[in-house]
């Protein structure tokens, strides 16, 4: 059966990196029997410019129809002064929420060829393979009330609410326990239960769930310590489960362990495993349009799509192997360069992966 894939390139480097990921999908379709049909839709600032809305109706409708979405990145200084609901970021948040993509899987894996590019010492990161499971449709990103106003004394004020109900915690918790069970069998739940009521509920629910997963070792860590431990001794972690905001921050931290945020893919899944696949990084306005962005995070997101939605684990392995092989050849985009390697543009890197897959 033909799978419908919707490509949403977005802003900044989004279109540049998506172009390379689409070339990968094309070669898999052409040479390896992947049965797909591609469509494209506007999102983010590009959609604000052309339709006045960061997630126009027809883009959302196309996203609902698709079997999987490949998402580039959104945002940029051009749209930063728009009202909140017209900002590119709001389009992405609505998309995640409307599609029920509550489980965000963000693996941080160090390719051995890139140990030098990590900001940590080689022995601290060698062999790193952790999975951050981030709750994606709740918490302070979506809690009400949220807004800005003026106090009685005439001072400006603003507020957000960090809120979870137990069902939201149960569904992400179950997903995380299952992921941990299929990996190293250790799950670390990260919260701020020493201060926040919402974190105490989070911790209580994780403890209750643990009884159903006796083969998974559950531990808890406060988020401030977790941030420190990630840069002190990251290999102590196997699977991490945490809330929307903490997961956002910790996954960017984990990115640097792997050499560059340009290496980190992600999958955002709903209850049925349908999903959106996107690099962890943003639209990188500082390098957009220069053809230097690393497309590997997006290409590795295609591998996650193959594994989790298209059920072609064989092809996912091929893509990941191709990435390793291209790195072995010494090809590097600027963000992962060193003295002994050869600098490649976004397009050259994509082309090298495509050649490897032929």
- Annotated binding site for NAD(+): which residue ranges? 76-89, 282-294
Binding characters for ligand IPM, 60-99, by CB under 6 A (x = yes):
---------------x-------------x--xx------
Q: DSSP string spanning 136-193?
A: -SSGGGTEEEEEEEE-TTS-EEEEEE----HHHHHHHHHHHHHHHHHTTSEEEEEE-T
Burial (CB count <10 Å: 0-12, 13-18, 19+), residue 232: exposed
Contact with ligand NAD (CB under 6 A) among 106, 281, 318, 332? 281
Contact with ligand NAD (CB under 6 A) among 28, 74, 115, 172? 74
State the Cα–Cα distance between residues 176 and 96, nearest whole angstrom: 18
By CB under 6 A, the residues from 275 to 314 that bind ligand IPM are 280, 282
Q: DSSP string spanning 5-50?
A: EEEEEESTTHHHHHHHHHHHHHHHHHHH---EEEEE---THHHHHH
Contact 141, 84 (CB under 8 A): no
Q: Which residues are catalytic?
A: 141, 192, 224, 248, 252
Asked if 89 interacts with Mn ion (CB under 5 A), we say: no
Single out the segment in contact with ligand NAD by CB under 6 A; choices: 26-34, 103-111, 275-283, 322-330: 275-283
Asked if 135 interacts with Mn ion (CB under 5 A), we say: no
By CB under 5 A, the residues from 241 to 280 that bind Mn ion are 248
Binding-site entries: 76-89, 96, 106, 134, 224, 248, 252, 282-294
- Strand pairing category for 129-135 and 156-161: unpaired
293 binds, among ligand IPM, Mn ion, ligand NAD, none (CB under 5 to 8 A by kind): ligand NAD
Asked if 20 interacts with Mn ion (CB under 5 A), we say: no
- Strand pairing category for 186-191 and 217-222: parallel
What is the binding site for ligand IPM (CB under 6 A)?
Answer: 75, 89, 92-93, 248, 280, 282
């Amino acid at each position: 059966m033909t799978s419908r894939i919707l490509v949403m390139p977005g802003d900044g480097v989004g279109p540049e990196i998506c172009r390379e990921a689409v070339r990968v999908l094309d070669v898999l379709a052409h040479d390896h029997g992947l049965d797909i049909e591609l469509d494209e839709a506007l999102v983010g600032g590009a959609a604000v410019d052309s339709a006045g809305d960061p997630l126009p109706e027809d883009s959302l409708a196309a996203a609902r129809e698709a079997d999987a979405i490949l998402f580039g990145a959104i945002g940029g200084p051009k749209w930063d002064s728009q009202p909140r609901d017209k900002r590119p970021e709001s389009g992405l948040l609505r998309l995640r929420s409307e599609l029920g993509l509550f489980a965000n899987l963000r693996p941080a894996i160090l390719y051995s060829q890139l140990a030098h590019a990590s900001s940590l010492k080689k022995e601290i990161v060698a062999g790193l393979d952790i999975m951050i499971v981030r709750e994606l449709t709740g918490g302070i990103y979506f809690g009400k009330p949220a807004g800005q106003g003026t106090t009685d004394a005439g001072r400006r004020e603003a507020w957000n609410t960090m809120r979870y109900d137990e069902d939201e915690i149960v569904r992400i918790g179950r997903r995380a326990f299952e992921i941990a069970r299929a990996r190293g069998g250790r799950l670390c739940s990260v919260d701020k239960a020493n201060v926040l009521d919402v974190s105490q509920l989070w911790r209580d629910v994780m403890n209750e769930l643990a009884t159903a997963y006796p083969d998974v070792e559950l531990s808890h860590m406060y988020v401030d310590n977790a941030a420190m431990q990630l840069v002190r001794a990251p290999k102590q972690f196997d699977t991490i489960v945490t809330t929307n905001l903490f997961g956002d921050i910790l996954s960017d931290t984990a990115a640097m362990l792997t050499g560059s945020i340009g290496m980190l893919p992600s999958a955002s899944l709903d209850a049925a495993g349908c999903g959106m696949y996107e690099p962890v990084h943003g639209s990188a306005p500082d390098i957009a349009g220069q053809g230097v962005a690393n497309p590997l995070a997006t290409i590795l997101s295609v591998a996650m799509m193959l594994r989790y939605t298209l059920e072609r684990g064989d092809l996912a392995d091929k893509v990941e192997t191709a990435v390793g092989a291209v790195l072995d050849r010494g090809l590097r985009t600027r963000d992962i360069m060193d003295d002994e390697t050869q600098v490649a543009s976004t397009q050259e890197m994509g082309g090298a992966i495509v050649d490897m897959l032929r």
